[in-house]
Amino acid sequence: MHAIFQAARMTGIMAWELLWALCLGFGLSAVVEAVVSKERVSKLLPDSSAKTIVVASALGAASSSCSYAATALARSLIRKGADFIAAIAFQFASTNLVVELSVLLAVVLDWQFMLAEFVGGPIMIALLVVLLRITLRPKLIAAARKQAEKGLAGRMEGHAAMDMSLHEGTFWQKLTSAKGTTATSHFYWMDWYSLWPDIAGGLVISGCLAAWVPQGFWQGFFLVGHPLIARIWGPLVGPLVAVLSFVCSVGNVPLAAVLWNGGISFGGVIAFLFADLIILPILNIYRKYYGLKVAAILFVTFYAAMALAALAVEGIFGWLHLIPKERAAGILQESVHWNYTSVLNIIFLLLSALLLWRFLRTGGPEMLKMMGDAPPAGETAHHHCH
Q: Quick one: pLDDT band at residue 376, thresholds 50, 70, 90? A: very low
Written as one letter, the residue type at 103 is: V
> What is the overall mean pLDDT for the chain?
83
Contacts of residue 318, Cβ cutoff 8 Å, sequence gap at least 6: 231, 266
Check pLDDT > 80 for residue 175: no
pLDDT digit string (tens) for 199-210? 888 778 877 887
Alpha-carbon gap, residue 125 to 74, rounded angstroms: 14
Low-confidence winner among 29-33, 53-57, 219-223, 345-349 (lowest mean pLDDT): 29-33
Residue 273 lies in a domain: yes
Residue 78 lies in a domain: yes
Low-confidence winner among 46-50, 122-126, 175-179 (lowest mean pLDDT): 175-179
The C-alpha angle 340, 345, 350, rounded to 5 degrees, equals 130
E strands present in the chain: none
Average pLDDT over residues 363-371: 77
Q: Which helix (H) or strand (E) holds 173?
A: helix 171-176
Check pLDDT > 60 for residue 159: no
Which has the closest alpha carbon to 160: 67, 293, 49? 67
Give the 3-state secondary structure of 92-133.
Answer: HHHHHCCHHHHHHHHHHCCHHHHHHHHHHHHHHHHHHHHHHH
The rounded percent of the chain whose pLDDT value lies above 90 is 32
Average pLDDT over residues 147-154: 78
pLDDT digit string (tens) for 70-98? 888 888 888 888 899 999 999 999 888 88
Residue 330 lies in a domain: yes
Check pLDDT > 60 for residue 158: no
Taking CA atoms, 113 is separated from 17, 21, 135, in Å, by 18, 15, 31
**191, 30 Cβ separation under 8 angstroms:** yes
Check pLDDT > 60 for residue 217: yes
> Is 213 strand, coil or helix?
coil
Top pLDDT among 278 and 41 is at 278
Q: Quick one: pLDDT band at residue 323, thresholds 50, 70, 90? A: very high
pLDDT digit string (tens) for 228-252? 999 999 999 999 888 877 666 777 8
Residue 123 lies in a domain: yes
pLDDT at 135: 94
Residue 316 CB coordination number (10 Å): 16
Residue 385 lies in a domain: no
Burial environment of residue 86 by CB neighbours within 10 A (0 to 12, 13 to 18, 19 or more):
buried
**16, 107 Cβ separation under 8 angstroms:** no
Residues in the chain: 386
Alpha-carbon gap, residue 88 to 319, rounded angstroms: 31
- Hey, which of 133-137, 195-199, 210-214 has the most confident mean pLDDT? 133-137
pLDDT digit string (tens) for 254-310? 888 888 888 889 999 999 999 888 988 889 899 999 999 999 999 999 999 999 999
Which has the closest alpha carbon to 270: 311, 217, 232, 304? 311
Residue 283 lies in a domain: yes
- Structural domain containing residue 108: 2-371
Check pLDDT > 50 for residue 184: yes
DSSP 381: B
pLDDT at 291: 93
Alpha-carbon gap, residue 330 to 145, rounded angstroms: 45
Top pLDDT among 214 and 50 is at 50
> Is 162 strand, coil or helix?
strand
- Hey, which of 20-24, 27-31, 169-173, 229-233 has the most confident mean pLDDT? 229-233
Residue 219 lies in a domain: yes
Top pLDDT among 24 and 49 is at 49
Residue 37 lies in a domain: yes
Instruction: Identify how many contiguous H helices and E strands the chain contains and give both numbers.
Output: 18, 0
Count: domains in the chain? 1
Check pLDDT > 70 for residue 162: no
**196, 250 Cβ separation under 8 angstroms:** no
